[in-house]
Amino acid sequence: MHGATTMTDTYRNYIDGEWCDSVSGRLFDNINPADTRETVSRHAASDARDAAAAVAAAAAAFPAWRKTPIGKRAKILNDAATYLEANADAFAAELTREEGKALNLARDEIVRSAQTLRFYAVEGQTYTGETFPNDDPDMVVYTQREPLGVVTVISPWNFPVSIPARKIAPALIAGNTVVFKPSSDAPLSGLRLAEAFVKAGIPRGVLNFLTGSAGEVGETIVASPAVRAVSFTGSTSAGEQIHRAVSMTTRTQMELGGKNPLIVMEDADLDQAVDLAVKGGLSLSGQACTGTSRIIVMAAVKQAFTEKLVARVKALKIGSGLQTGMDLGPLATRKQRETVLGYIEIGKQEATLLQGGTALTEGDFAHGFYVAPTIFTDVTMSMRIAREEIFGPVLAIIEASSYADAMAKANDTEYGLSAAIATRNARYAHDFANDIESGTVKINRTTTGNLVNAPFGGLKRSSTATFRESGRAGLEFYTQVKTVYRGC
Ligand code: NAD
> pLDDT, tens digit, for every residue of 123-136?
999 999 999 999 99
> pLDDT, tens digit, for every residue of 158-186?
999 999 999 999 999 999 999 999 999 99
The b/e string for 96-121 (b: 16+ C-beta within 10 A; e otherwise) is: bbbbbbbbebbbebbbbbbbbbbbbb
pLDDT at 412 over 70: yes
| pLDDT confidence of residue 5 | 39
pLDDT band at 10 (very low <50, low <70, confident <90, very high): very high
**Contacts with 30 (C-beta within 8 Å, 6 or more apart), sequence order:** 39, 40, 41, 42, 43, 98, 184, 185, 186, 187, 188
**Contacts with 464 (C-beta within 8 Å, 6 or more apart), sequence order:** 239, 243, 252, 253, 254
Does ligand 1 come within 6 angstroms of the Cβ of 158? yes
Does ligand 1 come within 6 angstroms of the Cβ of 282? no
**Do 213 and 197 touch, CB atoms closer than 8 A?**
no
Sheet with strand 35-44: strands edge to edge: 10-11, 35-44, 27-32
Residue ranges and CATH numbers for the domains of the chain are 10-256+463-487 (3.40.605.10), 260-451 (3.40.309.10)
Does ligand 1 come within 6 angstroms of the Cβ of 211? no
pLDDT at 399 over 60: yes
- Which residues belong to the active site? 255
In a 3-state reduction of DSSP, which class is residue 249? coil
Best residue for ligand 1 mutational test, from 109, 152, 154 (most atoms within 8 Å of Cβ) = 154
Q: What distance in angstroms lies between residue 169's CA and the mean position of ligand 1's atoms?
A: 19
**Share above pLDDT 70 across residues of the chain, in percent, rounded to a whole number:** 99
- Taking the C-alpha atoms of residue 172 and residue 193, their distance in angstroms, rounded to an integer, is 13
pLDDT at 323 over 50: yes
**Share above pLDDT 90 across residues of the chain, in percent, rounded to a whole number:** 97
pLDDT at 6 over 80: no
Q: What distance in angstroms lies between residue 117's CA and the mean position of ligand 1's atoms?
A: 22
**Do 153 and 164 touch, CB atoms closer than 8 A?**
yes
N- to C-terminal Cα separation, the chain: 74
| pLDDT confidence of residue 300 | 98
> pLDDT, tens digit, for every residue of 255-270?
999 999 999 999 999 9
**Contacts with 449 (C-beta within 8 Å, 6 or more apart), sequence order:** 290
pLDDT band at 2 (very low <50, low <70, confident <90, very high): very low
Average pLDDT score over residue span 189-193 = 98
| pLDDT confidence of residue 4 | 37
Predicted TM-score (pTM) of this structure: 0.96
Does ligand 1 come within 6 angstroms of the Cβ of 391? yes
Average pLDDT score over residue span 139-147 = 97
User: How many Cβ atoms from other residues are within 10 Å of residue 384's Cβ?
Assistant: 13
The secondary structure of 364-401, three-state, reads: HHCCCCEECCEEEECCCCCCHHHHCCCCCCEEEEEEEC
- Taking the C-alpha atoms of residue 209 and residue 211, their distance in angstroms, rounded to an integer, is 7
> pLDDT, tens digit, for every residue of 364-376?
999 999 999 999 9
> pLDDT, tens digit, for every residue of 200-235?
999 999 999 999 999 999 999 999 999 999 999 999
| pLDDT confidence of residue 116 | 98
> pLDDT, tens digit, for every residue of 268-304?
999 999 999 999 999 899 999 999 999 999 999 999 9
Average pLDDT score over residue span 439-460 = 97
DSSP one-letter code for 469: B
Does ligand 1 come within 6 angstroms of the Cβ of 339? no
Q: What distance in angstroms lies between residue 237's CA and the mean position of ligand 1's atoms?
A: 9
**CA-atom Rg of the chain in angstroms:** 23
Q: What distance in angstroms lies between residue 212's CA and the mean position of ligand 1's atoms?
A: 14
